[in-house]
Amino acid sequence: MAELEAAAGERAVALKAALAEANEVRARAERDAAAQAAAADARLAEATRRQAQLGQERKDADARALRALSEAQARFQEELARRDEMRAQEAQRLQAALQERSRQLRVAELEIQRLKAGNVARVVPPAPGSDAKP
């Protein structure tokens, strides 16, 4: 019986040692799993942060492009308005010149008609140096 008790004691000690080892392996496995989960969470957080950053950068780039397009359109419209104003001023200048030429032409036509009609008073200018009075 002492042998049985000794064998049972040895068996109990071996079982306790196996139980302690199993608990240690389980604890190590839990620590490894927790570390892997923490690393996965960190990678997920980094990926989420990068995605948000890229989204913000794209949004900023789109806003800059839209603003640049708007500014370019405004400059184009200003240039068109400036050219239209210059065209209008040139048209006014040409119209005034045309009216002046038309007036001069009318005066010349009237003078020609008057000359043809013989209504010109022919006055001979005095010779230079003579103070003759008519």
SS (H, E, C) the chain: CHHHHHHHHHHHHHHHHHHHHHHHHHHHHHHHHHHHHHHHHHHHHHHHHHHHHHHHHHHHHHHHHHHHHHHHHHHHHHHHHHHHHHHHHHHHHHHHHHHHHHHHHHHHHHHHHHHHHCCCCCCCCCCCCCCCCC
Question: What's the token pair of residue 12?
Answer: 């109990």
What tens-digit pLDDT sequence spans the chain (134 residues)?
778 788 888 888 899 999 999 999 999 999 999 999 999 999 999 999 999 999 999 999 999 999 999 999 999 999 999 999 999 999 999 999 999 999 999 999 999 999 998 855 554 455 566 554 44
pLDDT of residue 134: 44
* The residue count for the chain: 134
* Interacting residues of 132 by C-beta distance below 8 A, sequence separation 6+: 126
| Cα Rg, the chain, nearest whole Å | 56
pTM (predicted TM-score): 0.47
pLDDT of residue 96: 97
**Residue 134 CA from chain centroid, whole number:** 86
> CA-CA distance, 17 to 113, in Å (whole number)?
141
pLDDT of residue 43: 96
